[in-house]
């Protein structure tokens, strides 16, 4: 039986290796939703307009695809965008049904189709090799892209994956009550009754207690949920919870076999996330050989917003120590 070696780094908010929680003020770079949209572009996917933002350093720079979570958008990456664009050619789409992208009601939303969307965008931009940084719902899209790399059906070579908090394993995903209601026959009614106050309360509950979202951040996220009458499609989008169970063998299997496929993985996880925090990281350590885990104490579900400096340190360190030495661009 193979033993799992787990390299766990527990950072507190001062950047020190320490098991205790602490508080500090983190620096964030504010990009308004309007500025985010103005800097973006659109491409067609299945006859619908898909928004994406990109920053290109040059032909020799590695390409990084950012995949956001539910129910928000690519704007979630704005706190770390500026730094990432000094190291990579960065591409960040709003997936179908999210943010500034189309939100058709008569549409079969699925993780498989979102992966198709990502591959179509990479193909359109001439990308033949890329790296992934994913969060939440985006983790599951990343797992499908991993599965395609594993079975040989991928349209571009996948160099590495870094996961942030997400439901990588359906058995550890602790869905919030609003998600369960959206998935139920009452989903349409629940979506229609959602408002900015209820949204703010639900989002704040999954952030760390010492790192709550600001009013401006909540307003920005809410504005992109309701963009293009987006509340109508929330019950369809939340079907990813069912898909995770249906495709568990494929997605968890590909994650566990990534090392066999020479695809380095790292998990950067906000430990205090009630949805996919410390308990999910523990399951990751059980199932992923030689698991590389960076736990962020006192951080919740949105580490890229709550602790951008720590996420950048962990992500760039991952590329410097585990990715670039093996796969120089």
Domain ranges of the chain: 7-323
- Are 110 and 241 in contact, with CB atoms under 8 Å apart? no
Q: What is the pLDDT of residues 64-95, one digit of tens each?
A: 999 999 999 999 999 999 999 999 999 999 99
How far apart CA 63 and CA 53 sit, in angstroms, is: 13
| DSSP helix, strand, coil percent of the chain (3-state; round to 5) | 40, 15, 40
Give me the residues paired with residue 160 across strands.
131
Percent of the chain with pLDDT over 70: 87
Q: Are 153 and 126 in contact (CB under 8 A)?
A: no
Q: Average pLDDT over the chain, rounded to whole?
A: 88
Q: Which CATH class is domain 7-323?
A: alpha beta
- The distance of Cα 63 from the centroid of its chain, to the nearest Å, equals 16
pLDDT at residue 217 tops 50: yes
pLDDT tens across 7-37, in order?
344 443 333 333 333 333 344 557 899 999 9
Residue 283 burial class via C-beta count within 10 angstroms: exposed 0-12, middle 13-18, buried 19 and up: middle
Q: Please report, rounded to a whole number, the percentage of residues in the chain having pLDDT higher than 90.
A: 77
pLDDT tens per residue, range 110-149: 999 999 999 999 999 999 999 999 999 999 999 999 999 9
Cα-based distances in Å from 192 to 189, 204, 231, 288: 5, 20, 7, 40
> Looking at the predicted structure, is the pLDDT value of residue 43 above 90?
yes
Asked if 299 and 271 count as a contact pair (C-beta separation under 8 A), the reply is yes
Q: How far apart are CA 306 and CA 207, in angstroms?
A: 8
What sections of 170-275 are H helices per DSSP? 177-183, 187-193, 196-204, 215-226, 234-237, 240-246, 248-256
pLDDT at 192: 81
Which DSSP string do the residues of 217-237 spell out, in sequence order? Answer: HHHHHHHHHHGGGGGGGHHHH
The pair of structure tokens assigned to 254 is 């590909």
Residues 274-290: what's their mean pLDDT? 95
């Amino acid at each position: 039986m193979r033993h799992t070696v787990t390299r766990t780094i527990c950072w507190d908010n001062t950047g020190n290796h320490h098991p205790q929680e602490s508080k500090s003020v983190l620096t964030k770079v504010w990009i308004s939703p309007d500025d985010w949209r103005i800097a973006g572009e659109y491409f067609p996917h299945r006859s619908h307009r898909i928004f994406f933002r990109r920053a290109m350093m040059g032909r020799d720079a590695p390409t990084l695809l950012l995949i956001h979570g539910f129910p928000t958008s690519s704007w979630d990456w704005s706190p770390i965008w500026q730094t990432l664009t000094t190291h990579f050619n960065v591409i960040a789409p709003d997936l179908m049904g999210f943010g500034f992208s189309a939100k058709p009601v008569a549409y079969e939303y699925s993780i498989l189709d979102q992966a198709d969307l990502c591959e179509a965008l990479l193909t359109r931009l001439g990308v033949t090799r890329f790296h992934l940084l994913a969060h939440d719902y985006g983790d599951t899209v990343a797992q499908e892209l991993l599965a395609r790399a594993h079975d040989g059906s991928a349209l571009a070579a996948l160099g590495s994956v870094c996961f942030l908090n997400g439901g990588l394993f359906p058995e550890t995903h602790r869905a919030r009550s609003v998600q369960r209601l959206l998935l139920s026959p009452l989903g349409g009614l629940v979506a229609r009754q959602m408002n900015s106050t209820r949204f703010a309360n639900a989002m704040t509950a999954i952030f760390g207690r010492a790192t709550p979202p600001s009013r401006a951040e909540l307003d920005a996220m809410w504005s992109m949920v309701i963009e293009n009458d987006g509340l109508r499609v929330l019950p369809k989008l939340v079907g990813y919870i069912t898909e995770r169970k249906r495709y568990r063998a494929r997605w968890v299997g590909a994650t566990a076999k990534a090392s066999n496929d020479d695809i380095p993985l790292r998990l950067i996880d906000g430990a205090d996330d009630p949805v996919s925090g410390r308990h999910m990281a523990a399951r990751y350590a059980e199932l992923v050989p030689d698991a590389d885990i960076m736990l962020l104490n006192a951080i919740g579900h949105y580490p890229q917003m709550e602790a951008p400096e720590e996420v950048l340190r962990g992500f760039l360190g991952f590329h410097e120590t585990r990715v670039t030495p093996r796969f120089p661009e």
